[in-house]
Structure formats: C-alpha cells, structure tokens
Amino acid sequence: MSLGTSEGVVDRVRRSLPSGAKDIGVALVVPGLLLFSLFMIYPIAFLAYLSLTDVRSAGDVLSGDSSLVWFENYLQLVSDPAFWNSLGVTWLYVGVSLVLKLALTIGIATLLTHGRVAGKRYMRALVIVPMGFPPIFAISVWRAMFSPARFGPVNRFLSMYNDIVTGLTGVVNDVVFFVTINAPEFLLVTVPVNWTGSRWAAFSGYVATETWLAYPFMVIITVSALQDVPMELHDAAKVDGAGYLTRFRHVTLPAIRGPLVFASILTAATSFQNFLIPWVFNEGGPGRSNELLLVYGYREALTFDNYALSSAIMIVAIGFIGLFMWLAVRKTNLAEGV
C-alpha cells in the first residue's frame, strides 16, 4: 500500500471523528481506555460502592437489596483487632520474603554468570523449573514438605541436623576426654515441629514457599542484567586494586540496581496479594493468627456473610498496594527517563 493511500485513510478517519477530536492518537487509545475501564475501573468502583452499603450476601448483591451506610464498614474495620493483625502479618510476610528472595536471587544469579562455573546453561534451565508447575501443585507439595508428622521431610531434615550437632559434640568429648560437653540447647531444634499448628512455624512455611515460587522470575531478570555489566568497568576496578567484594559492591550492584528494583517491586506486590499459600497451608491459622489481608477479606465474605465489610477490606488492600507501588517507583526513580 502506498504512502499516499495510507494518508488518505488517515484523512478519512480524521474527518469521521466527532467535532473537536482531530488528533487521531486520541482515537487510537479510546478502545484501550474503554476496555481498561470495563475490566479494571468498573469492578473497583462497584467494590467501593458495596463497601458503603450493608450488603450481606451474594443474593443481596444480585437483588440490589441493600442500603447505604456510608463509612460504617470502614469504622468497624479499624476497630477490629483482626484487621490490624492481618495488616501486620501481611507486611511482615512481604518484607521477610522479599529479603530472602533478594539474597537467594543475587547468590544464584552471581553463580550462574560466573566465568569459572561450568554447566551454567543447564543450571539456568533448572532454575526456571518452578515456573513450570501450577502454583496450587507447588504449594501442596510444600505443605507436604512441612508436614507436622515426625517423619515429615522437613522434620526429618531437622532430626538429621540434631544428630550432626550431637555427633560433633561426641567427637569433641572423645578428643578432650577429661571434660564432658553436652550439645548446646540453642543449637538443637525440638522435633517434631508442628508446622501448621504453630503460628510462627506456619509463617516460616509460608515464606519458604513464597520464596520458592518467586525466585525464578527474579533470577531471570537479574541474570540478564548481570550479562550486560560492562567488563571494562571490572577491568578498570581490578587495575585500581579492587577485590571481588569491592567490585561487586561498587560495580556490579549499581549496574543491576534498576532491574533488581523492578523485580523486587513486582514480586513484593504479588506477595501482598497472596491468598493461596496461607489458605492451602492452614487457612491462615492456627485460628486467625496468620490471616493475610486477602484471606481475611475472603473469610469475612464467604464464612461470615459480610460482603460489605469484605469489600471495605479489599478497597483498603487496593489502596495499600497502590500506595506501595507508587512510593516504590517514586523513591527508586524507576520511571526516570520513561
């Protein structure tokens, strides 16, 4: 198609636009804006409306049998200790899992890009294996790993660890035969650990599972960033006498900061919205002690038939995650130059 023909089509489209809308760029984004409004803005607006009513069940929503109570649900929310516990546990979960994911990601990505490591291609293929499993399957497997039974895999690992500590203590006793040393209590773990019936043990299981599910995505991005770090910078640092750790701190980390921050923000936002892990593990238990924010909202809607309060919880969750992402992007200058 000739250029002249294309310009003719553009002119005809411009002439067909409503008066005042002469910029065809505006017309091109209108379908996208309509779809975005339909699938994003309308559900959120409807959720906000429900949070201002006294609707109790799905039947009330469908029949429209509700009345406005304005901010009564929000006042009830802030006076509910379960809400503050849920909010605190959610942010703790996001923070701890993010620190673990960052440490694991940097370690694995550095290993996968090091010049002296053989078989990196196959190791990179293994790293992305967790992305191939459905999340519900991976979470169920991890729940089985954290079985509270004495012979659960993680409990067996801890028993082996206790045996190693006790064995090393016995070796010391054999060498220094004139004194008897018992294995230090603080180095031993009481086995079996009730991974689903103890609050912080269950929380540890959540964090381990979330780290397992999210680290491949971060590793892929970080490995790509590490491969783009100019070797000239490393060579110049070597000439100045910088050791490996100094080069890693002053050359490598600044070079991969942008992609690493980008991956961290996305995975932190995903962690904040996590529902499956606590639900499959022990439904946010024991009791309601480990309810993440979405589990809290889900239970209020479907267990206690309080859709209005649940809607208020979800609006608060949307507000927090939006504020977090805005602050994260703004403070890290991630959008600079875009």
Percent of the chain with pLDDT over 70: 91
Query: pLDDT digits over 222-276, tens only?
Result: 999 998 888 888 888 888 888 888 988 888 888 898 899 999 999 999 999 999 9
| Domain 80-148+199-304 coded CATH 1.10.3720.10 | yes
User: What average pLDDT does this structure show over 274-290?
Assistant: 93
> Residue 151: its pLDDT value, please?
87
Compute φ and ψ for 68, nearest 5 degrees.
-75, 130
User: What average pLDDT does this structure show over 284-288?
Assistant: 90
| Contact of 283 with 274, CB cutoff 8 Å | no
Q: Rounded CA gap, 196 and 277, in Å?
A: 12
Query: pLDDT digits over 64-73, tens only?
Result: 788 899 999 9
Decide if pLDDT at 3 tops 60.
no
Decide if pLDDT at 106 tops 90.
yes
Decide if pLDDT at 1 tops 60.
no
Alpha helices (H) along 176-275? 199-227, 231-239, 244-247, 253-272
Query: Taking the domains of the chain in order of start, what are their residue ranges?
Result: 80-148+199-304, 149-193
User: What average pLDDT does this structure show over 82-111?
Assistant: 95
> Residue 61: its pLDDT value, please?
82
Helix/strand/coil percent split, the chain, to 5? 70, 0, 25
Decide if pLDDT at 328 tops 90.
no
In this predicted model, which residue has the larger pLDDT, 24 or 155?
155
| Contact of 271 with 210, CB cutoff 8 Å | yes
Q: Rounded CA gap, 94 and 88, in Å?
A: 10
Grade residue 22 by pLDDT with cuts at 50, 70 and 90.
low
Decide if pLDDT at 75 tops 50.
yes
CA proximity to 145, closest of 160, 134, 155: 155
Q: Rounded CA gap, 85 and 333, in Å?
A: 32
Query: Looking up tokens 């019936």, which residue turns up?
Result: 197
**At residue 69, what is the residue type?**
V
